[in-house]
Chain A
Amino acid sequence: MIEGIGIATLALLALWGAVAGIDLVSVPQFMMSRPLVVGVVAGAIVGDPMAGLRVGVVLELFALDVLPVGAARYPDYGAATIGAVLVVAGGPWVSGVGLGVATGLVIAALGGWTMPVLRRANAAAIAGRLDGLQAGDSATIRALQFAGLARDALRSGLLVVVAISAALLIRYLQPLGDEAALALTVAVIGAGLASALAGAMRTAGRSVRVRWLMAGLATGLAVVLAW
């Protein structure tokens, strides 16, 4: 077992990751699946809240790039953040955040790929119960609804198991030297900043919102320079 992280902690992480995964689309969409939320709570679970915050903040910058609009395929950052925090927890964040976030990005992309699979499975279930739907049978609707929820719970659970397994493997292998790990941390922070700003600029388009974005950016830079 990985030092300092027991079975109970991993089980709690898995549970939290599954809850976050279901929250992403199915129920209740309270934004518990946002990387900042998942990261800070996961950090508290593993006893390293600062690791959770560092990882959660960087992955949140990436998440701000994507609007979870309708049928769009968007990354699932819930399980991804769990895996990322687990990679970093207990070690120096400077050398851990890069590898953690890199792991998180891969899991998030994988999670995004699972969404169309889930949606096609839901559609197949509906196709199998068209008679009940045509008859206006409420029980059929309830059954389809709960089955969809169960499928998403299964999807989220499997994804978080993959994320935790990948994180434990990376912790065990420790594949990067100090210099490469630092370079990776720097690179993902830079890419995260670009993602958040690119997303904000895309959303703003050429509307008056661009000026407000620039005003916020200028204010933030002024605060940082005056620090």
Chain B
Amino acid sequence: MADGGPGDGSCGGSRMVRGLGSAFTRLFAVQASWNYERMLGIGMGYAAEPLLREMKSTDAPRHADAVRRSAEFFNCHPYLAGLALGATVAAEYAGEPEDRIQRLRTALCGTLGALGDHLFWAGLLPAMMGMALIAAVLWDPWWGLGLFLVGYNGCRVVVGWWGLRTGLAGGMRVGQAIATSWIPRARFVVGLAAGFMVGLAVPLVGRFQLADLPGAAAVVAIAVAVLGLGLAYRFGPTFRGVRYGLFVVGVVLLYYGIMP
């Protein structure tokens, strides 16, 4: 096994510290070349490059193989990609055989995808956006924006940095590190907060938009909303807000086109 890589914690050199910062920065663009064949693969390869650079001078053939592997098919939540990046780079420095590294990447795909989707897309994002909407309509739009952008991205940056460091430290044992971390618990709590905040925001936003309209208009808007919810209940996951929005727009335009 090769020594001196990030996985065994002995990489304190300034070159690797610079590489860590560079890899973290590059993770913000991990989806820049997203495609159906390799998904995040190229973005992961691009982010891995600064961390693998040190290997080039110590083990050039392994470096070329590691770079090739880093850009192969991979998919997970973009904000948690650092966990997988750190773990696979640590495994490369630890001299793990190719099939073990491939299995690690495959295992992390589903795990990090599901965790990130629940934690961020279905949790933190709607929770923070619910708060932002309430602040924007009740208080001041700029404060709403500031609250959302600083709060959401602050969490995202901290989690991203934690993920990269945890992955590098965990290597092949990163799965255990994830399972015993704060993520599963946070995912549950943030999910509840998201439900509450969106539920709270919808009536307040409705009032903000409808308060200045004639009374009958509010009744019609509520009827349109109730109809939409009925359709969502009837059609389940196939219901899409954009489709429903375009449908009601079509109905209104058709009505006034026929009866101007």
Contact = CB atoms under 8 A, between A and B. Distances in A.
**Is B truly associated with A?**
yes
Given A145-B33, A188-B249, A194-B244, A57 B137 contact: yes
Given A31-B153, A141-B42, A216-B200, A187 B224 contact: yes
B2 interface: no
- Best-buried of A41, A196, A219 by chain B (most CB within 10 Å): A196
Contact of B149 (A37, A53, A60, A223): A37
B206 interface: yes
A135 to B, nearest CB: 7
A29 interface: yes
B220 interface: yes
A141 B71 contact: yes
Interface residues of B, number: 100
Given A108-B242, A193-B205, A126 B38 contact: yes
Interface string A7-38: 00000000000000000011111111010110
A75 B246 CA distance: 13
Interface of A: 25-32, 34, 36-37, 40-41, 49, 52-54, 56-58, 60-62, 64-71, 75, 94, 97-98, 101-102, 105-106, 108-109, 112, 116, 119-120, 122-123, 125-127, 133-138, 141-142, 144-149, 152, 176-177, 179-180, 182-204, 207-221, 223-224, 227
Interface of B: 28-29, 31-39, 42-43, 45-46, 49, 63-68, 71, 75, 78-79, 113, 117, 121-122, 125-126, 129-130, 132-133, 136-137, 141-142, 144-145, 148-149, 152-153, 156, 191-210, 212-213, 217, 220-229, 231-232, 236-237, 239-242, 244-249, 251-253, 255-256, 260
The 8 closest A-B pairs by CB, nearest first: A194-B228, A216-B199, A195-B241, A190-B224, A148-B33, A65-B241, A220-B203, A136-B64
